[in-house]
């Protein structure tokens, strides 16, 4: 821990933390005024906009002194360096000072690769083709002979079935309650399953999966430290692969993921096919970010590494490499090579090609013909994923699918009755399509209407499950807050959002307890269900929270009652009103909203309040980091955290 503290020490100016914005009544204002108010009706609102807070601070004098001596912005990098220190490999990039980065060139490359301009696409094609050809030539050479020139239909089905069996289900898993306890007694098998759960499920409670402040990254690094002999008998190549997936693919820490391979080898575990596959998936991430390095060169490096270690590629490798290709002409060339070499086409590769085709046509009937004639998927009506993709496509381009029966007829795509959750996923894809539909002015209205229809069907038909998918609620919340920005729409919007939070809490069984962050009293007032949804809606709920704070602080005396915050639970009277709203006709549901939106809050002031809210939670995170830096023994520190949360038996 002393090494970690030294790593974040900097002889540079002190860090200045913004004062937290309180949701209580201790908020005060300066006499600063904004000129040029946007509307006469906003004169009172704009009189005293600049927020200040009480002088109460959450840092003790000692903590304040430490923050002045440490640069906590580099804490995460220092944490990784501390983990890698036992390797004694000073040449690792993780230990080097960061070199100047040519951001302008990286942005230019990214714009050219993602442009729809034919000239840019051709330029990108010519630039990348030599690297692409080298990669494909090498891939063909190292592909096992039994995967090429496959002619027998029976053998083809056998190969595809084998590949599918070797893949785990890729559905997103969400856990809204406490993470599982460390198994006791511990075995190699249950430890592997424990690490799989931590890395393949998103644990929302107390933001446990967060790289910056969650407990899961701490558990992973502690249990897989080569200096921690307690867990050495239980670690394996499989569990290290789970860490590579978590840090490299999920958290975008590609450099650290590569270093984990060295830790894995030092711990006595050999790289396997799954390791190579994960490194290729990190290359997929690389192909979608601004960079000055060619992705195909990175792929080729890992293919050579696989061959040098005697690791054979398989059909899923071809699918992953297809994901690294952004240029349309290169994708066409890839598809041509697959046909020339008679490489079996996996279900995953079919879905990738289908996604690309769906982006190029707005007519769903053409997509169906492509599925049947080009992809040769005759029984697609029995395939949930393909059918759901078609539902999204129809909703995205203005056609409205039904969710009631199983056949597809004229303009209706229907969900099967094979499982309760199939209807829920059909609804999710339907709402996703509506959210992407650029022809709709107020998309959230259409989304909420479909949601209400679904609730009615679910209440009448036991075969239709309640909407138990987090994405359903986050999409509606995001769209509603984006659509209705006029200040006159804030009260009805607030009721709508609180209603969606109410339903999400009920159907997803979200926890409503408030966890103290120990840094200020206000955070104790905010329940966990709101925090979960706020993180998943990408600043939308944070913006609404800031809007409520701003309005209550500026118009408090002129309002009949202060506006409730988004996390405040419904009263019994409000619950009845919410149920009636969901059962009402369309016109009545939206009667309180103003569609001709002309009156808006000052953007700079809303951002100021949002920054204050962020500062409050950053303050909590920094206090946790300081506590870890002050700990004399890292393993003991994490053990005490686990005991406190009852994640470890005493």
Radius of gyration of the chain (CA): 27
Note whether 78 and 640 are within 8 A (CB). Answer: no
Q: What's the average model confidence in pLDDT over 503-530?
A: 77
In the prediction, which pLDDT does 149 show? 84
Residue with tokens 């709402």: 431
Residue 143 φ then ψ, to 5°: -70, 125
Q: What's the average model confidence in pLDDT over 268-277?
A: 96
Measuring CA to CA, how many Å separate 556 from each of 45, 84, 531?
Answer: 10, 54, 25
> Around Cβ 126, how many Cβ atoms within 10 Å?
11
Measuring CA to CA, how many Å separate 355 from each of 133, 360, 606?
Answer: 24, 9, 38
The predicted-structure confidence for 355-387, as pLDDT tens digits, reads as follows 999 999 999 999 999 999 999 888 899 889 999
Lowest mean pLDDT, pick from 165-169, 215-219, 580-584: 165-169
Residue 415's pLDDT band (cuts 50, 70, 90): very low
185: pLDDT strictly greater than 80: yes
Length of the chain: 650
**DSSP sequence for 132-163:** HHHHHHHHHHHS-GGGSS---HHHHHHHHHHH
Alpha helices in 150-253 (DSSP H): 153-165, 188-200, 215-223, 237-244
Q: Which two tokens stand for residue 111?
A: 């714009």
The predicted-structure confidence for 243-261, as pLDDT tens digits, reads as follows 999 999 999 999 999 999 9
508: pLDDT strictly greater than 60: yes
38: pLDDT strictly greater than 50: no
In the prediction, which pLDDT does 59 show? 58
Note whether 113 and 326 are within 8 A (CB). Answer: yes
550-558 long-range Cβ contacts below 8 angstroms, 24+ apart: 550/49, 550/51, 550/601, 550/605, 550/606, 550/609, 551/45, 551/487, 551/490, 551/601, 553/27, 553/29, 553/51, 554/29, 554/44, 554/45, 554/46, 554/47, 554/48, 554/49, 555/44, 555/45, 558/44
Q: Which two tokens stand for residue 631?
A: 């700990």
Give how far the C-alpha of residue 517 lies from the chain's centroid of Cα atoms, to the nearest Å.
23
Note whether 273 and 311 are within 8 A (CB). Answer: yes
Q: Please tell me the distance from the alpha carbon of residue 130 to that of residue 14, in angstroms, as a whole number.
A: 49
Across the chain, which distance is largest between two alpha carbons, in Å?
A: 81
Highest mean pLDDT of the ranges 4-8, 105-109, 362-366, 585-589: 362-366
Buried residues in 219-246 as b, exposed as e (16+ CB within 10 A) = bbbbbbbbeeeebeebbbbbbbbbbbbb
Lowest mean pLDDT, pick from 238-252, 420-434, 438-452, 548-562: 548-562
pTM of the prediction?
0.86
Lowest mean pLDDT, pick from 43-47, 224-228, 516-520, 575-579: 43-47
- How does the average pLDDT of the chain come out, rounded? 84
Q: Please tell me the distance from the alpha carbon of residue 353 to that of residue 319, in angstroms, as a whole number.
A: 10
Q: Any idea of the CA torsion for 414, 350, 476, 479, to the nearest 10 degrees?
A: -120
Residue 617's pLDDT band (cuts 50, 70, 90): confident
3: pLDDT strictly greater than 70: no
In the prediction, which pLDDT does 10 show? 44
Among 74, 377, 311, 87, residue whose Cα is nearest residue 212: 74
> Is the peptide bond between 185 and the residue preceding it cis, with omega within 30 degrees of 0?
yes
37: pLDDT strictly greater than 60: no
């Amino acid at each position: 821990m002393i090494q970690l503290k030294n790593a974040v020490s900097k002889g540079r100016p002190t860090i200045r933390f913004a004062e937290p914005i309180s949701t209580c009544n201790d908020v005060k204002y300066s006499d600063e005024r904004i000129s040029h108010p946007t509307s006469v009706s906003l004169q009172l609102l704009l009189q005293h906009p600049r927020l200040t807070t009480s002088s109460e601070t959450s840092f003790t004098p000692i903590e304040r002194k430490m923050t002045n001596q440490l640069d906590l912005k580099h804490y995460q990098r220092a944490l990784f360096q501390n983990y890698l220190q036992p390797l004694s490999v000073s040449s690792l990039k993780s230990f080097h000072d960061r070199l100047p980065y040519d951001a302008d060139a990286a942005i230019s490359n990214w714009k050219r690769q993602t442009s729809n301009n034919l000239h840019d696409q051709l330029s990108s094609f010519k630039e990348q083709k030599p690297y692409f050809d080298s990669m494909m030539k090498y891939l063909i050479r190292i592909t096992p002979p039994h995967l090429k020139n496959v002619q027998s239909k029976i053998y083809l089905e056998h190969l595809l079935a084998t590949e599918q069996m070797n893949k785990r289900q890729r559905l997103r898993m969400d856990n809204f309650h406490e993470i599982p306890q460390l198994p006791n007694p511990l075995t190699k098998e249950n430890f592997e399953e424990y690490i799989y759960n931590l890395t393949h499920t998103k644990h929302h409670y107390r933001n446990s999966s967060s790289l910056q402040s969650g407990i899961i990254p701490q558990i992973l690094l502690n249990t897989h430290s080569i200096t921690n002999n307690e867990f050495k008998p239980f670690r394996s190549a499989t569990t290290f692969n789970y860490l590579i997936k978590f840090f490299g693919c999920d958290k975008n820490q590609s450099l650290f993921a590569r270093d984990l391979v060295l830790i894995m080898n030092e711990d006595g575990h050999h790289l396997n096919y799954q390791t190579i596959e994960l490194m290729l998936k990190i290359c997929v991430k690389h192909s979608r970010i601004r960079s000055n390095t060619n992705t195909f060169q990175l792929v080729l490096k890992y293919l050579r590494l696989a061959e040098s270690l005697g690791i054979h590629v398989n059909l899923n490798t071809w699918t992953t490499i297809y994901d690294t290709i952004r240029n349309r002409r290169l994708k066409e060339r890839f598809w041509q090579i697959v046909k020339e070499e008679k490489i079996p086409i996996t279900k995953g590769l079919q879905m990738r090609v289908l996604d690309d085709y769906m982006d190029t046509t707005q007519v769903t009937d053409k997509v169906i013909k492509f599925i049947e004639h080009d992809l040769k998927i005759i029984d697609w009506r029995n395939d949930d994923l393909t059918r759901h993709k078609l539902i999204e496509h129809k909703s995205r381009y203005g056609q409205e699918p039904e969710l009631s029966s199983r056949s597809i007829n004229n303009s209706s795509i229907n969900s099967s009755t094979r499982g309760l959750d199939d209807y829920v996923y059909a609804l999710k894809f339907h709402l996703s399509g509506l959210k992407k539909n650029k022809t709709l002015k107020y998309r959230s209205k259409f989304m909420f209407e479909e949601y209400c229809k679904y609730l009615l069907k679910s209440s009448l038909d036991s075969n239709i499950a309640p909407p138990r998918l987090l994405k359903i609620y986050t999409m509606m919340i995001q769209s509603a807050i984006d659509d209705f920005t006029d200040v006159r729409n804030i009260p009805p919007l607030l009721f709508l959002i609180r209603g969606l939070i109410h339903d999400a809490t009920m159907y997803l069984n979200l926890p409503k307890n408030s966890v103290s962050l120990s840094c200020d009293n206000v955070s104790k007032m905010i329940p966990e269900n709101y925090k979960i949804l706020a993180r998943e809606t990408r600043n939308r709920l944070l913006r609404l929270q800031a809007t409520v704070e701003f309005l209550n602080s500026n118009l408090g005396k002129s309002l009949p009652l202060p506006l409730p915050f988004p996390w405040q639970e419904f009263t019994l009277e409000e619950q009845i009103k919410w149920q009636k709203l969901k059962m009402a006709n369309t016109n009545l549901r939206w009667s309180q909203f103003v569609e001709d939106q002309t009156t808006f809050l000052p953007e700079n002031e809303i951002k100021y309040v949002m920054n204050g809210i962020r500062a409050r939670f950053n303050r909590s995170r920094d206090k946790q980091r300081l506590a870890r830096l002050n700990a004399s023994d890292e393993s003991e520190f994490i053990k005490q955290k686990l005991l406190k949360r009852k994640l470890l038996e005493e």
